[in-house]
Chains A and B, each alone.
Chain A
Amino acid sequence: MGAPGTAESTEAIARARAGDPEAWGELYREYAPAIFRFCRRALPTREDAEDATMDVFVKVHEKLDQYDPSRPFSSWLYKVAANYCWDLLRRRKIRQDKETEDVDEVPLEHPDGNQLEQLIEQRTSEEVRKALDKLPTRARMALVMRYYSDMSYDEIADELGVRRAFVGVVLLRARHELRQALEGTGALAVGGAG
């Protein structure tokens, strides 16, 4: 993905907003691969990701007038993509909205850092991606929003419809679920020194 907010991107965005199809083509070439990967990580199948990428760009093109140039274009794109993917999952009734926000359920363990280090060292990127695919939708969505598109806690809270204070919990739980998927056991998630 090209560096968002570079002079080249900014100029292309301005020209695209003025109706220049060439500029829109430039933007598409620059950002489509990243948006496709975002959708690929967030949605269950490759076909879904393809459809979603197309639809996201159609939406972006329609709403280009609403884009605030003072913010990075990529952030706005990711926000539209996240919104689209989460909404798609909702429409298919496969996302879990009713997860508790009870603070008492916040995990307060202190797992063994060395064990975690060891697990991370042993796993390849491909294994992580496969493990991600096994996660519940909300956990996966949260991880993608945070660690792929670098969305803020506020933005994630807004997309997932949870309180900002609960975003950390969602992310930590998601990490635990990921570790479980990587390990095949819950040792790291629940075990700890403390």
Chain B
Amino acid sequence: MTPPQRSAGQHLDEMTLLLYLERQLDRERAADVSSHMQSCGDCMTLFRALDRESRLLTRAMLEEDEPLPARLASFQQRAKRSMQWIWMVTFGLAASGVYAIYTSYVEPVQSRLQDAGFGGTSLLGLLVFQSAFWKGWQSMLSLVEILAFLVIGVSAALLFRRWFRRGTLAALLVTGMCGALMLPANAAAFESRKGETVEITKEETIKGDIFLTGNRIVIDGTVDGDVYAFGQDIELNGHITGDLLAGSQTIRINGTVDGNLRGFVNTVTVPGTIGRNLMAWAQVVNIDSKGKVGRSLTSFCQTLGIDGQINGDVVSFNQAARIAGTIQGEMRAKGEMLTIKSTAHITGPVKFEGDKEPRVESGAVLTAGPVSYTKHTPDHREGGKGYLFFRLLWTSSFILYGMVLTLLMPKFAGDCVSSAENAGPSLGIGLLILLSTPIAAILACVTFVGLPLGLLTLALWFVLLFSAQIVFGSVIGRWILGPTEDTWGRVGRMALGMGILGVAVPIVHQTNHWIEFFFKLALMIWGMGAISLAIYKRLQRSSGAVVAPPMVA
């Protein structure tokens, strides 16, 4: 560095001396300064004073005049908490956003659809907005509101924390919580009964929802709310003004359900009335000749029999369906066979996809025309000529997908393969992820608050599912060619492994479909476990700070 070439009389200026002291002058200029100072006492004195000033500054700043604050000892925990705030704020904002979207768009549209009479006929609407779950969702909406307020309050407190003393903040939070607790609570009654035989007698009227568990459940009285019933046999002779959600061996509806019936049961028999929709996952579903469903019927069962009346659409996935009653809407069925008896009357179009042509007896009234039949043909996944071509295409796609993933995240790909070599933990965690993730995601979706989160989780789960085979392919490649740190080496091993799997799967397919199924399942579990372990290790690494030992102030 060359300072301005001006001097203070015959002495060197302070700037030049400082730069000389700090070794910022070029060699030639430094030599001049050095030479000058040999013969100039004033400049040497100032130089020494500047040097002492520098030392004093350094000493004063380095001196440990105050101990390290105790707060810093747990700074990593604070970092973790700050992340939690970020998540809370994100969650709160997302929840508020979802709530706003619901109240602004979904609710009015839903209301208009209801007015137009489409409320119960859409499968999506039926699943999402009209089930017994809806009650739970409504409670969740209140929770969302409270959470949103809490998040806003806490965020504000954090934002203005500089102006609060700790006591003030604590007092504010406590006051806020007390205030929240003092708010009038929504009227909620939730009675429960359990025992060998649980009965609601004819004289009884239950106000509000009720939860029933027992070997035999008999409802002769009236429930002015929803019923959640789980037992061996359920019999309704009375009246439920809300929905009935049931899980049992058999369920018989002799009485009336004003709302919906959702059942996970072996046999459903309906000689009575269901005011709105019936959805059943069962072996046998029977709507007796006196039975009536106010809106739609959706069944996933082995045998469906309709002798009574359905006032909406029927959607069925059954082995065999027999229609002898009335359907005041469209029918869409998929299964092995469909029989429409002479007494049947269907006003909407009938679509059937099955193995055998539908049997329509003479006398049956199909107002919208004959049954539209599509023969079920086994696709490439079930065998057929194109199977090998499909496998080739499938394997190539996987290799390409795996190549992209490996090139994008070579280090992570290596971690996954390393984790996969620990077969026990990988299989254990893989099984856990395979089963628990979709359940958790569906539960999150059902609670409405977590709908986006649930859908995102499901999407990630599918990505994980498809990526699992690639991990296993890489492991096979590594077993054959040995470990490598080179990215393209990893890609090569993955491609080799996937190629081997591509050959192995059709061979297993020829042997036995079940063996193929379990073979693929094992691969997926193993691969999913390995990826999850690698992600876990990554997260543990990145949150390493959090577990660092606290520092003593």
A61 touches B545 (CB 8 A): yes
User: How many angstroms between the C-alpha atoms of A101 and B14 in the bound complex?
Assistant: 18
- Chain B contacts with A in 512-553, Cβ cutoff 8 A: 537, 540-542, 544-549, 551
A129 touches B15 (CB 8 A): no
User: How many angstroms between the C-alpha atoms of A128 and B71 in the bound complex?
Assistant: 27
| B290 touches A (CB below 8 Å) | no
Interface-side segment among A21-29, A68-76, A79-87: A21-29
What's the tally of chain B residues with a CB closer than 8 Å to chain A?
60
User: How many angstroms between the C-alpha atoms of A37 and B50 in the bound complex?
Assistant: 24
Question: For B375, what are the chain A residues with a Cβ–Cβ distance below 8 Å?
Answer: none
A116 touches B50 (CB 8 A): yes
Q: Which of B53, B59, B68 contacts A116 (CB 8 A)?
A: B53
Question: For A67, what are the chain B residues with a Cβ–Cβ distance below 8 Å?
Answer: none
Question: For B58, what are the chain A residues with a Cβ–Cβ distance below 8 Å?
Answer: 147-148
Question: For A20, what are the chain B residues with a Cβ–Cβ distance below 8 Å?
Answer: 544
Residue of B nearest to A131 (CB): B60
B545 touches A193 (CB 8 A): no
User: How many angstroms between the C-alpha atoms of A108 and B50 in the bound complex?
Assistant: 15
- Chain B contacts with A in 56-81, Cβ cutoff 8 A: 56-66, 68-69, 71-72, 75-76, 78-79
| Dominant secondary structure of chain A at its interface with chain B | helix
| A187 touches B (CB below 8 Å) | no
Distance in angstroms from A149 CB to nearest chain B CB is 9
User: How many angstroms between the C-alpha atoms of A74 and B68 in the bound complex?
Assistant: 18
- Chain A contacts with B in 150-188, Cβ cutoff 8 A: 153, 164-165, 168-169, 171-172, 175, 178
B68 touches A19 (CB 8 A): no
A194 touches B9 (CB 8 A): yes
- Chain B contacts with A in 8-56, Cβ cutoff 8 A: 8-9, 11-15, 18-19, 22, 24, 42-50, 52-54, 56
Distance in angstroms from A12 CB to nearest chain B CB is 11
| A43 touches B (CB below 8 Å) | no
- Chain B contacts with A in 62-110, Cβ cutoff 8 A: 62-66, 68-69, 71-72, 75-76, 78-79, 82
| B117 touches A (CB below 8 Å) | no
User: How many angstroms between the C-alpha atoms of A110 and B45 in the bound complex?
Assistant: 11
B14 touches A120 (CB 8 A): no
- Known contacts A19-B537, A21-B544, A168-B22; is-contact A120 B15 (Cβ 8 Å): no
Question: For A29, what are the chain B residues with a Cβ–Cβ distance below 8 Å?
Answer: 549, 551
A172 touches B14 (CB 8 A): yes
Residue of A nearest to B547 (CB): A21
B53 touches A106 (CB 8 A): no
- Known contacts A110-B46, A116-B53, A147-B61; is-contact A193 B9 (Cβ 8 Å): yes
- Known contacts A24-B548, A117-B52, A120-B49; is-contact A107 B15 (Cβ 8 Å): yes
User: How many angstroms between the C-alpha atoms of A128 and B162 in the bound complex?
Assistant: 28
CB<8 Å pairs between A and B, sample of 26: A19-B537, A19-B542, A21-B546, A21-B548, A22-B548, A24-B548, A25-B551, A28-B551, A37-B62, A37-B64, A50-B72, A57-B79, A58-B545, A108-B4, A108-B14, A109-B8, A109-B14, A110-B9, A116-B49, A123-B56, A125-B63, A148-B58, A153-B22, A153-B24, A172-B14, A194-B9
By a beta-carbon cutoff of 8 Å, the part of chain B in contact with chain A is: 1, 3-4, 6-9, 11-15, 18-19, 22, 24, 42-50, 52-54, 56-66, 68-69, 71-72, 75-76, 78-79, 82, 162, 537, 540-542, 544-549, 551
By a beta-carbon cutoff of 8 Å, the part of chain A in contact with chain B is: 16, 18-22, 24-25, 28-29, 32-33, 36-37, 40-41, 46-47, 50, 53-54, 57-58, 61, 103, 106-114, 116-117, 120, 123, 125-126, 128-129, 132, 143-144, 146-148, 153, 164-165, 168-169, 171-172, 175, 178, 192-194
Closest 3 CB pairs of A and B: A19-B541, A113-B45, A25-B548
